[in-house]
Amino acid sequence: GAVVSQHPSWVICKSGTSVKIECRSLDFQATTMFWYRQFPKQSLMLMATSNEGSKATYEQGVEKDKFLINHASLTLSTLTVTSAHPEDSSFYICSASRETGNGYTFGSGTRLTVV
């Protein structure tokens, strides 16, 4: 089945620093990947849609200059949280699908803690 790898699994950073999270599709090419944020005991909220070779599409309320997304290849999308603040602490998770319209596979998630 489709495998999506996400790194790091957890990271602690100081306020004001930037953190990069990687999402890789290991056994398939993903033209589109999705980035979600999940606060404790809440549902998955779509942040942005990452499109290979073009700009990401951000959901309303998500700051594109703060959450930089790069999808430079068909197997890798990165999310960079710039100038992180404690309120950015959350579980970030990516997903991708081998075929558009089918059940997406999630990465293992990244728990970000900003201190």
Nearest distance, CB of residue 74 and another protein, angstroms: 16
- Best CA proximity match to 85, nearest among 33, 17, 39, 23: 17
Interface with another protein includes 8 (CB under 8 A)?
no
Q: Which stretch binds another protein (CB under 8 A): 17-25, 42-50, 63-71, 82-90?
A: 42-50
**Which residues touch 67 (CB under 8 Å, ≥6 apart)?**
35, 47, 48, 58, 79, 80, 81, 82
What single-letter DSSP state applies at residue 25? E
Kindly tell me which residue out of 11, 46, 62, 74 binds another protein, with binding defined by CB under 8 A.
Answer: 46
Interface with another protein includes 107 (CB under 8 A)?
yes
Interface with another protein includes 54 (CB under 8 A)?
no
Q: The tokens 């089945």 sit on which residue?
A: 1
Summarize as ranges the residues that interact with another protein (CB under 8 A).
32, 34, 42-46, 49, 93, 100-109, 111
